[in-house]
Structures are given as structure tokens and as C-alpha cells.
């Protein structure tokens, strides 16, 4: 069995009691020290009109809420292009179980550490803002 966080064979597996997912003990400890961001392809009423597998560029940005007149915002941004061969990006269907690793989505388990998030104004008034954008080709939008 592969760990959904590292993609390697499970080492010292631990099970999350609330959802039943299993992870490597070390991966889960590292995961809990960071803010994580993921995207998950869900079924929708227009799935038969869309092109599959999902292959559009995805960008996540943690927005720096510093006053732009005082300093230039330093957003944290990560971008990826989905692997069309990976089952997470195939057309979603009812056949996937809640414990199937393809239902976990894809993203960054260590997007930013809890320590680094405190170094700038990523948290302001007890709120953070994460922008997720998908680059959709013009032919789909037309």
C-alpha cells in the first residue's frame, strides 16, 4: 500500500480515525506542521461536455495581506500541470470509494510551514486568503 502523501510504500502506517485514511507516521507529522493545499476533481452535471483527462494548469497562491503602499506583497505561489495518466485527473465517476487514493486530490502537503506563515501578513484579522486558479483554454470558454 502506498502512502498518499509521499507516494512510497507505507512506513510505520497510522490511521486517521475520523476518515480512515492511512499515512506514513513521518509523513503525517510533517503534514501537520504545514499548511497544505489540494485540488480534487469532482463529478458535475457537465462532465460529458468536458475534455478528459483534466489537464489544465493549476495555480495556488497564498495572498500576502500586507499594505501594498508600505511594502510589495510577497504572495506564495505554486503551479502544476496535471499528469493526464494519473487517475486523480480522469473523468470522475461513482466507482471511486472514499478510501481510494485518487479521491484525495493533488496538491502541496507542505505548501508553507506554520512558522513561515507568521513571518509576513499572510494571516490578518484571523483570516488567510488562498487563490486557486485553473487556466482553461479559450475554446472551452467560447
pLDDT tens, 91-112? 987 555 555 555 667 888 889 9
103 vs 92: CA distance, rounded Å: 9
Mean pLDDT of 67-88: 90
Q: Which residues pair with 9 in a beta bridge?
A: 2
**pLDDT at res. 86:** 87
* The pLDDT of residue 41 is above 80: yes
Would you say residue 80 has pLDDT above 90? yes
Task: Pinpoint the residues of the chain covered by CATH 2.60.210.10.
Answer: 34-135
Which letter does DSSP use for residue 108 in this model? E
- Calculate mean pLDDT across residues 33-46: 89
CATH 3.40.50.620 fits 34-135, yes or no: no
Using one digit for the tens of pLDDT, what is the confidence trace for 52-76? 999 999 999 999 999 888 888 999 9
Mean pLDDT taken over the chain = 86
**For the chain, how big is the Rg over CA atoms in Å?**
18
Amino acid at each position: 500500500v502506498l502512502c498518499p502523501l509521499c507516494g512510497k510504500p507505507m512506513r510505520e502506517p497510522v490511521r486517521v480515525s475520523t476518515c480512515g485514511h492511512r499515512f506514513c507516521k513521518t509523513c503525517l507529522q510533517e503534514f501537520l506542521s504545514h499548511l497544505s493545499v489540494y485540488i480534487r476533481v469532482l463529478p458535475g452535471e457537465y462532465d460529458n461536455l468536458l475534455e478528459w483527462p483534466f489537464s489544465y494548469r493549476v495555480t495556488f497562491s497564498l495572498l500576502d495581506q500586507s499594505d501594498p503602499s508600505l511594502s510589495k506583497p510577497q504572495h506564495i505561489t505554486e503551479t502544476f500541470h496535471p499528469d493526464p495518466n494519473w487517475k486523480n485527473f480522469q473523468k470522475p465517476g461513482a466507482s471511486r470509494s472514499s478510501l481510494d487514493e485518487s479521491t484525495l486530490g493533488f496538491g502541496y502537503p507542505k505548501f508553507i510551514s506554520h512558522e513561515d506563515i507568521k513571518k509576513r501578513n499572510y494571516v490578518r484579522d484571523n483570516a488567510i486568503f488562498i487563490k486557486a486558479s485553473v487556466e482553461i483554454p479559450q475554446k472551452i470558454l467560447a
